[in-house]
A and B are shown apart, each in its own frame.
Chain A
Amino acid sequence: MRESAVLFGSTRSLVGIVTEPAAEVARPDAPAVLILNSGLIHRVGPKRLHVRLARRLAGVGFTCMRIDLSGIGDSRSGSSIDAIHERWCSEAREAMRLLREHHGARRFLVAGNCSGAALSYFVALAEPDVVAAALINPPNPRPLRYYLRLALKHPAFWRRLVRRDQWSHRVQKARQRLARLNADTGRPSATARNPLEELRSLIERGVHLLVVNCEWDASYDQFQVAHREQLRALGNGRIHLESIPGSDHDFNLVSGQERLLDVVQRWAASL
């Protein structure tokens, strides 16, 4: 395995780490893996998960690239006037171009956690060379059933509710959510899209999707409970749903991290 640091993008102001497999395990036919930022966490990922994922996948023959999108980690803030969503999609394309030109990649697997999952999904929709996407805890509105499940099944729900020092935090989070509602990120809004049509187009293109939800993340209720059967039927074997028991959105337990790495590695190896 070999790792190298690269500068890429039109002004070479974006930073990425390429992990190449050792010659004896390299699979030239395998898609190159592009791992996108999770929120504001730099390219090592939450709890260093992206580093470990890239090394795991390189260990079974995949070339991987972890990147910092503009304004995150070591990459500079973008000077483009494009809305942030378009800018980040175009930066993911720049990373794919580097993998094509310097590592002979022809097909791609995009992966991300949280906001990285959302971006991976949009990149998969837009880029015909993307043949697979791993969407980990994709962000979605928290349904009422999520809060009911927490209240009924997790004692931390009540502990947090009565904890006074959490209230200022809650107010701040509510403010941030409001600000996000008003901010124009350029990401197509859910109401302006047709998610079913989008998924159908991906499946018709032959794209494989892995959706991983942590048991205590709100996305679990959406994907593993509310729409599980619908997604299975739609996917026709190409949508793979997995859950990580006992884990939260931030992978705060090492056991959950290990399980995630196993799940993604197994799925990628089966492509």
Chain B
Amino acid sequence: MVVDQTGTPRLPFFFGDADSPLFGCYDHPPDGPTRDRAVVLCYPMGQEYIRTHRSFVQLATRLARAGFPVLRFDYFGSGDSAGDAEDATLARWLADVHSAMDEAKRRSGRRRVSLVGLRLGAALAALAASERDDVDSLVLWAPLLQGRSYLRELRALQAELLRFAYVRPEPGTERHAADEILGFVLPDPLREEIEALDLLASSACPAREVLILDHDTSRFAALEQTLAAAGAHVESRSVPDPAIWLAEPFRGLVPHRTLTCIVEWLSRPS
């Protein structure tokens, strides 16, 4: 690992199955880890991933400066990881989150992890955390609650794109264009899995401490209740930042208040 001029070492690497490796980026605290946990960041999918990458880099840098070893990673068929988007499934992505957590523990030498996920990444983080007992804390940033409404939202965005963007599907391909999501294919198996996703239906406790973050957390009251009933200590914070997953990358938006809130919450004494 090489320390650069900013003093925060960053290591890009591939890990996992040699036939279909995942890309990860590991940020290491400049003076060595001072925390007892590693943090794994879970991106959203598709165009939301492209739009939010810059903010995740910033978040990783800030967490590393606060003493956390941090791993960001790309799901199979997305970003720099192996595979094509056509072959992606939610089951595979869930396995990828587990694989990333194991990798973060191995690299950092820590036995516990915290997870931070945005949108679909938040749902994946919650599901993965429910399946293991080494997740201390979980940050659900604008999580999707029910896959069905998430898909409805994506379809509306695609319809808007077809109406307002300077594109013109070739004759005979209009149906395919309507099924895409902002320039990304959404294969049927993944679509069906997302449709069946329901965070409110889970009775498992994903982590001892859960933070729900959004510009308006009042819409997550049901999730708060579900998690509390499962035994988690849940905190909700409304942060008036823009929805960066809707803003194109050229705008370079980074939600500083949200990132500060995440770093402070994870850094507080447990």
Spell out A's residues near B (CB within 8 Å): 3-7, 11-13, 15, 17, 39-44, 46-48, 51, 73-74, 76-77, 79, 150, 154, 156-157, 159-160, 163, 215-217, 245-257
Contact = CB atoms under 8 A, between A and B. Distances in A.
A47 B183 contact: yes
Contact of A246 (B13, B23, B161, B170): B170
B81 to A, nearest CB: 9
B166 A248 contact: yes
A113 to B, nearest CB: 12
Given A163-B164, A254-B183, 16 more contacts: A3-B14, A3-B82, A5-B23, A42-B50, A44-B50, A48-B79, A51-B80, A76-B6, A150-B166, A156-B166, A157-B166, A160-B164, A248-B165, A249-B166, A250-B248, A252-B182
Interface string B157-180: 000010111111110010011001
A5 B10 CA distance: 12
Interface string B57-71: 100000000000000
A217 B168 CA distance: 12
Interface residues of B, number: 43
Given A48-B78, A159-B164, A257 B173 contact: no
A7 B183 contact: no
Given A15-B12, A159-B164, A216-B166, A255 B250 contact: no
B25 interface: yes
16 contacts: A12-B2, A40-B250, A41-B249, A43-B80, A44-B50, A46-B183, A51-B80, A157-B166, A246-B167, A247-B167, A248-B165, A254-B180, A255-B169, A255-B170, A255-B176, A257-B183
Nearest to B53: A42
A182 B5 CA distance: 29
B177 A73 contact: no
B252 interface: yes
Contact of B249 (A7, A40, A157): A40
A254 B176 contact: yes
B4 interface: yes
B80 A17 contact: yes
B249 A44 contact: no
Nearest to B184: A47
A13 B27 CA distance: 12
A258 to B, nearest CB: 10
A63 to B, nearest CB: 16
A254 B161 CA distance: 13
A57 B168 CA distance: 27
B49 to A, nearest CB: 9
Contact of B5 (A7, A76, A160, A163): A76
B10 A44 contact: no
Given A39-B250, A51-B80, A251-B183, A5 B13 contact: yes
B183 A252 contact: yes
Contacts of A251: 183
A13 B183 contact: no
Contacts of A160: 164
Contacts of A159: 163-164
B151 interface: no
A123 to B, nearest CB: 22
B14 A5 contact: yes
B185 interface: yes
Interface string B132-167: 000000000000000000000000000001011111
B107 interface: no
A253 B2 contact: no
Contact of A156 (B2, B21, B164): B164
Contacts of B249: 39-41
Given A255-B176, A257-B183, A3 B167 contact: no
B57 A74 contact: yes
A13 B165 CA distance: 37
Q: Which of B85, B182, B183 has the most CB of A within 10 A?
A: B183
Interface string B174-199: 00110010111100000000000000
A252 B165 contact: yes
A40 B78 CA distance: 18
A46 B50 contact: yes
A12 B176 CA distance: 43
Contact of B167 (A17, A44, A216): A216
B57 A253 contact: no
B111 interface: no
Nearest to A49: B183
Contacts of B10: 13, 15, 74, 76
B4 A12 contact: yes
A12 B9 CA distance: 10
